[in-house]
């Protein structure tokens, strides 16, 4: 595997960052998870734009321009002979001392990994997931805006551990008011009486690229969709539920906390959205 690291393409075994990098020491950095489909980097410009927004929010100067970021991302895919895969683009604050002083970090570090990922076994995309609500609450947006896709993922990791302990592959995270924020790694949607609902970013949800794609697909298909506060009750009593994310793509949920969602099968709205999504991923984005 070839990795792009701070201006060079190096073997994965040689791709190393310093133990003094503040991305490692303090989670001080931002990242994007991006998908490659049949040689097309899906919505790459949108991903890079979100990276820029995240970096601006934490006062981190990106070392490359937007076009340069696009170029190195595509080149990393080419160097690994990939046609389908998963890309992780990471920017850290860089090397500094052991104190909380990001201004002492001389320059940021940037690396791009292009490889493979499988979030869930294939059968769950066909039959649906059974998920749970985890005890760990999502960080309040007033403390850390969920719109910043930062390296601070311990909140999500704790939720993921709790989901696994309960025998589930994914878990819903509530905010401090008891409303659904998102899952540990995915955005959540429900379908009720023909309308699609999803939590707003103000409730702790990441503004996902795949999430945005669902809004576009729903509009084109004439399916009403809107942001709304959701509780677990809304999922239990929904006709359908599904999750989205760059890694997860679009995956149906058929059970939450032991309650069957709908008829316990992936619903027709979810299937329509998924079918349209699979067509878009090969044509919306940047060809490598």
| β-pair type (249-256, 129-133) | parallel
CB half-sphere exposure, 174, CA atoms < 13 A: 14
Residue 91 burial by Cβ neighbours in a 10 Å radius (0-12, 13-18, 19+): buried
Catalytic residue flag (residue 122): no
SS (H, E, C) 20-68: CEHHHHHCCEEEEEEEEECCEEECHHHHHHHHHHHHHHCCCCCCCCHHH
Residue 110 has phi, psi (to 5 degrees) of -130, 130
**Separation of alpha carbons 115 and 269, rounded Å:** 31
Which is catalytic among the residues 8, 56, 127, 149?
Answer: 149
- The Cα 268–Cα 239 span in angstroms is 10
> Which DSSP letter does residue 212 get?
H
Catalytic residues: 149
């Amino acid at each position: 595997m070839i990795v792009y690291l701070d201006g060079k393409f190096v073997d994965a075994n040689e791709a190393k960052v310093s133990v003094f990098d503040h991305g490692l020491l303090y989670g001080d950095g931002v990242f994007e998870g991006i998908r490659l489909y049949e040689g097309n980097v899906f919505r790459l410009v949108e991903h890079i734009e979100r990276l820029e927004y995240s970096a601006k929010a934490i006062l981190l100067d990106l070392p490359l321009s937007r076009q340069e970021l696009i170029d190195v991302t595509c080149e990393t895919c080419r160097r690994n002979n990939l046609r389908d895969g998963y890309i992780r683009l990471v920017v850290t604050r860089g090397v500094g001392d052991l104190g909380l002083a990001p201004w002492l970090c001389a320059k940021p570090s940037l690396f791009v990994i292009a490889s493979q990922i499988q979030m869930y076994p294939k059968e769950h995309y066909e039959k649906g997931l059974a998920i749970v609500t985890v005890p760990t609450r999502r960080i309040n947006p007033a403390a850390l805006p969920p719109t910043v896709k930062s390296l601070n993922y311990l909140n999500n990791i704790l939720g993921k551990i709790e989901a696994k302990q309960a025998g589930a592959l994914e878990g819903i995270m509530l905010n401090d008011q008891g409303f659904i924020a998102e899952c540990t790694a995915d955005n959540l949607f429900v379908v009720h009486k023909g309308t699609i609902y999803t939590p707003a970013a103000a409730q702790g949800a990441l503004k996902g690229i795949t999430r945005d794609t669902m809004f576009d697909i729903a509009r084109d298909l004439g399916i009403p969709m809107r942001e709304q506060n959701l509780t677990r009750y809304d999922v239990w009593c929904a006709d359908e539920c599904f999750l989205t994310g760059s890694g997860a793509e679009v995956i149906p949920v058929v059970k939450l906390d032991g309650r069957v969602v709908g008829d316990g099968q992936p619903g027709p709205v979810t299937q329509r959205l998924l079918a349209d999504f699979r067509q878009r991923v090969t044509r919306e984005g940047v060809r490598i």
